[in-house]
Amino acid sequence: MLTAEIIAIGSELLTPDRTDTNSLWLTEKLNSIGIEVKLKTIVGDDDARLEEAIKDALGRSRVVITTGGLGPTEDDITRKIAARAMNRRLLLNEKVLDAIRTKFLKMGRAMPEINSRQAMVIEGAEVLDNPNGTAPGMYLEHDGRNVVLLPGPPREMRPMFENFVQPKLAAKAGDVRVVRRILRVAGMGESAVDERIAPIYTQYRNPQTTILFNNSEIEIHLTAQAKTEAEAELLLDGLAGQIEEKLDHAIFAFRGEKMEEVVGLRLAVGGFTLAVAESCTGGLISQRLTEVPGSSVYFMEGVITYSNDAKIRSLGVDSELILKHGAVSSEVAEAMAEGVRHRADTDFGLAVTGIAGPGGGTEEKPVGLVYIALSDDAHTEHRRLMIPGDRNLIRWRSSQAALDLLRRRLI
């Protein structure tokens, strides 16, 4: 496999507030054409350090990609330093200069003098057009290395890479295509997942399997290599099928979809409608569901009943029920689900009540105790959860469990 290095340039990337995220996108793209990223460097607007970083990278890796530092100001040193690191001259390119001038004219302005710096091109480099900005990129081959200079802003960098760089590098990389598939799991613990599927995936080196735990969600990443994408997809189908057999309905997404997308699609396809009543999740479930474009077709109404009074008045929960069992109880969760379904006249009612903390817990009902309930016209059911973690994690896991309860009903 070809190896690549990415150098992200800009002093703002060395502050506590900013990190280089371009490289994640680039890594995905590079991997897909069979190129592996072996090292990343983040360097400020610092001549000596950048020169050393570029020279080191050229000494080690076949593909060297820089992002950032192509702007018009003094601080934008990538052109100059890259030229110096490769011992090449930096030449004014009249065609590029004209193009930049024209871009400014179209905005009704004269080109500021400093922007002429962006027309300086490294000797022997191919200029990469930038439809979304003034800084052109560059591509050159130097001592058998492929060197790519890209602008920092993602909306300029991404199309430039996809349109010009990716086809070139794919040709160099030859007949290797890498395809990744993300399976997502709900309702099972990490070790339970690994225990069931490790006997399968450890038998394969291709596809390669990685299990990731993000924000309490389990993702299974399968990466297959083959001569064509179709062959890689076949390898993925094979392994994904075996994993599905072991995990069954615990896998809710086979292509990285979000839970709210999966649930939304099932509701839309079935022609069902939904209303949601939330206490401790405070609107998170409704917010997730309505983040999906087109959700107005199935999402009718949400109610956030934080107070007991609101539960009684807005959802018709019997005050006796709250007195007897408490607001955080299976009885109240079910009454909330039924209440919101009747009120909004929908096919399904989904409800959550629980204690997200940090305060409000008792010995009998500690922080993390959550009840979720689902109601349709045939029956109402609930689940009791004990969720570890902080307030945000408890809220997020509660929302995930509630959506998963609905998803399983819709299967």
Closer to its own copies by CB, 23 or 93: give it: 23
Closer to its own copies by CB, 13 or 262: give it: 13
Backbone angles phi and psi of 51, in degrees to 5 = -60, -45
Q: Name every residue whose Cβ is closer than 8 Å to that of residue 290 and which is 6 or more positions away in sequence.
A: 296, 299, 302
DSSP state of 298: T
Per-residue contact flags (x/-) with its own copies for residues 356 to 395, judged by CB under 8 A: -xxxx------------------------------xx--x
44 binds its own copies (CB under 8 A): yes
Per-residue contact flags (x/-) with its own copies for residues 304 to 343, judged by CB under 8 A: xxxx-xx--xx----------------------------x
Interface segment toward its own copies; rule CB under 8 A; list 34-42, 109-117, 230-238, 244-252: 34-42
Residues 156-215 that bind its own copies (CB under 8 A): 180, 210, 212, 214
CB of 127 to its own copies, least distance (A): 28
DSSP states of 208-250: EEEEEEETTEEEEEEEEEESSHHHHHHHHHHHHHHHHHHHGGG
31 binds its own copies (CB under 8 A): yes
Alpha carbons 125 and 115: distance in angstroms, whole number: 19
SS3 312: helix
Count of C-beta atoms within a 10 Å radius of residue 214: 8
Closer to its own copies by CB, 93 or 305: give it: 305
CB of 399 to its own copies, least distance (A): 9
> Which of 289, 352, 373, 394 is close enough to bind its own copies by CB under 8 A?
289
Count of residues engaged in binding its own copies, rule: CB under 8 A? 74
Closer to its own copies by CB, 24 or 386: give it: 24
294 binds its own copies (CB under 8 A): yes
Kind of pairing between the strands at 63-67 and 274-278? unpaired
Residues 71-130 that bind its own copies (CB under 8 A): none
The answer to whether 223 and 207 have CB atoms below 8 angstroms apart is: yes
> Which of 165, 173, 222, 300 is close enough to bind its own copies by CB under 8 A?
300
Closer to its own copies by CB, 36 or 126: give it: 36
Alpha carbons 288 and 53: distance in angstroms, whole number: 43
Alpha carbons 178 and 197: distance in angstroms, whole number: 22
The type of residue at 181 is R
> Which of 46, 126, 231, 257 is close enough to bind its own copies by CB under 8 A?
46
Longest dimension (CA), the chain: 84
CB of 26 to its own copies, least distance (A): 9
Neighbour-count burial for 180-195, b at 16+ CB within 10 Å, e otherwise? bbbbbbbbbeeeebee
302 binds its own copies (CB under 8 A): yes
For the four alpha carbons of 181, 186, 188 and 191, in that order, the dihedral sign comes to positive
> Which of 147, 284, 312, 387 is close enough to bind its own copies by CB under 8 A?
284
40 binds its own copies (CB under 8 A): yes
Closer to its own copies by CB, 119 or 222: give it: 222
